[in-house]
Amino acid sequence: MDATLLHIQPAAPQPIYRQIAEQIRRLVAGGQLAAGTTLPSVRDVAATHAINPMTVSKAYSQLEAEGVLERQRGKGMAVAAGAAAPPSPAQRWDLLEPALDALARQAGELELPPDEVIARLRLRMEEHA
């Protein structure tokens, strides 16, 4: 995995360590990070995104405690064998629900029509496919 695969938004209300942890969880759940895949070092992620190394370390430690990552002596952190089991569709939806809730709330606050929000979401998904 390359450190540039992570998308960090410093101005977002969500703490950066949570952004990192949630993205890694989704990449594992979506099958983009297989068991044994080595993650970039804390230093590499911190340097690439100009963030504090302790922030990255906190995200990695949280994922290690959850069993998503495992520490490999001399190699750093890697995706744990058990974490790469294909999640059920319900588990994948559970990872997306908070973002959908936030999107729905923000679109309502901005009084945007649901059909236009859905159309723009569809475009974004096609751009990122």
pLDDT tens profile 72-122: 988 889 999 877 666 778 888 888 888 899 999 999 999 999 999 999 999
The model's pLDDT over 47-81, given as tens digits with 9 standing for 90+, comes to: 999 999 999 999 999 999 999 999 998 888 999 98
> Whole-angstrom Cα distance, residue 21 to residue 123?
26
Q: 0.85 cut: is pTM over it?
A: no
Tally of domains within the chain: 2
According to the model, what pLDDT value does residue 86 have? 66
Residues 100 and 64 reside in one and the same domain: no
Q: Is residue 84 part of a domain?
A: no
CA 113 to chain centre: 28
Are residues 56 and 113 both part of a single domain?
A: no
Cα angle: 110, vertex 12, 23; to 5 degrees: 110
Looking at the domain assignment, is residue 9 inside a domain?
A: yes
DSSP 13: S
Residue 22 lies in domain: 3-79
